[in-house]
Chains A and B, each alone.
Chain A
């Protein structure tokens, strides 16, 4: 695909489980188990799923912060895992990560301006004299004031800290921003401010986002394409309109119907799933969702459903479809 910024093919990430006196590997947590997707330049790809679905691991593995187990990741057409260390380092500024809790990623004893500017200097992108101007510039685009530059992280509220986290990523002028639950820790009124900021920055700077979230209403608001993950596998990928209008996988349907809507006395056909999410170290056979699926058949217990295009770039992995 010509305009693909990030291409992920059959990505796998297994974490070993060690136990015993000799610390032997006794099994693997299949955090990411054969996942493929493409993010085009300028689009926002949303990755949704519940705890333990592997969505954060995907975010970290596609920019090689965590090493893959298998598969291929192409960023701007270049195979990231084939790059020597020095070339990878040069590529780093182009792909940036934003976390849920910016406070824990800021050094409490370093002034905000220095925290934002340090990566610029590390990568030798600007001279010392220019750093301050670049930082002031990016503070302004993130809705912070120039006097904030000399303050310490503890002097900021949660929403402002997330703005600092965004500024820190943005100052390097990245192509791709991976945002891992960036608004989940914020109050509703502040959350709306940050969501709007993400949108504005995308319009003005042509950014591409991989937006990881458990909150479907936020994802619907921001993303143009959405992938739904369950226990390390992608169960469905479609454009936003298609996914919300015509969800095909029973898990997607259940997830959509479980989100509480602020309309009292609304009667909805809710699919309430029974049971808990199984452990990713010992996932169910066949379709991983079959233990909770209200429509599970005999086939689902044995055969892994193929992740295939059912038309219009709508991918789903389910025997029923």
Chain B
């Protein structure tokens, strides 16, 4: 299987009054056809900005992709014009966000918003587009499709709106779906429905999914391959079973240990001390060093490179550099 999406050494920086924030700093990742890749990390780690960069949605002048390559289906996306990018967005890459309410236009009906991409991208007639929209509403598990098509966003619940967003996203048959925290704002019983729906569409269409989430439970349920980000960098990646069974980076280990899990009670939860570093004050080092229980001298002054430790996993940590630990 070939790579559908290949990101090489992506750098997206934001200029602020206090200095440059390196939101995404040298991230590389690959998504194969039909694969679900999850980017997991805490607030501010750069996971959403990575996705926005792929979509060409990082708004200047403050934010800019300053380096790297984003190759989709063999084509480099970064040099493309707005217009060329717009054709790919929607047709081949679709995106859903955390807040469905804020991604839909409150003064247009659901039907109008669903037919727009069908007319624009698939060149359907208005009538055919409406019929297809109603069919799609049914496919995402909403009954009374005709009636829903004529309603406005505020008349629907959060779970229903997210279904509509998924319906819009898959309407042009994308090869890649980017989902940024798609279930974070939803209740657990609704989250279960939405995740089922995503899995079902993936199975039917061999679409790839790049899923961004902070919830390790969602990762375990959805991912084939996992990328862990911390302070703008990838600290670990690997095949999902391997990553959960044998986390290598102390940050990944800490994250997994600090999450309370149903039916696995502990007296005291493990907690990672301290907090995420200020992105303006980063100097060359392992960015996790001041929260790490295994911190060595080298961690404070030099950045570890992401390298393979097994065939299926990579980690950026000095603990896995033979020469450092034993030399």
Contacts and interface: CB of A to CB of B under 8 A. Distances in A.
A244 B262 contact: yes
B189 interface: yes
A1 interface: no
Interface residues of B, number: 47
A26 interface: no
Contact of A189 (B190, B218, B244, B271): B271
Contact of B244 (A187, A260, A263, A273): A263
Contacts of A214: 187-188
B159 A276 contact: yes
Interface stretch (B10-18, B84-92, B251-259): B251-259
Contacts of A159: 275
A265 interface: yes
A197 to B, nearest CB: 9
Interface string B89-131: 0000000000000000000000000000000000000000000
Interface centre among A187, A218, A272, by most chain B C-beta atoms within 10 angstroms, is A187
A231 to B, nearest CB: 12
The A interface is mostly helix, strand or loop, or mixed, namely: helix
B256 A272 contact: no
Contacts of A264: 220-221, 223, 240-241, 244
Interface size range of chain A in the complex: 35 or more
A300 to B, nearest CB: 18
A35 B251 CA distance: 43
Contact of B260 (A217, A256, A257): A217
Interface string B181-223: 0000001111111011000000000000000001111111101
Interface in B157-194: 157-160, 187-193
Interface in A23-72: 50-51
A161 to B, nearest CB: 12
A188 B42 contact: yes
Interface in A196-222: 196, 199, 214, 216-218, 220-221
A50 B188 contact: yes
Contact of B190 (A257, A261, A276): A276
Contact of A220 (B191, B218, B265): B265
A220 B275 contact: no
B255 A189 contact: yes
Please name the 6 residue pairs, one residue from A and one from B, whose CB atoms are nearest each other, closest first: A260-B217, A192-B258, A192-B271, A50-B187, A187-B42, A189-B272
Interface of B: 42-43, 141, 157-160, 187-193, 195-196, 214-221, 223, 240-241, 244, 254-256, 258-263, 265-266, 268-273, 275-276
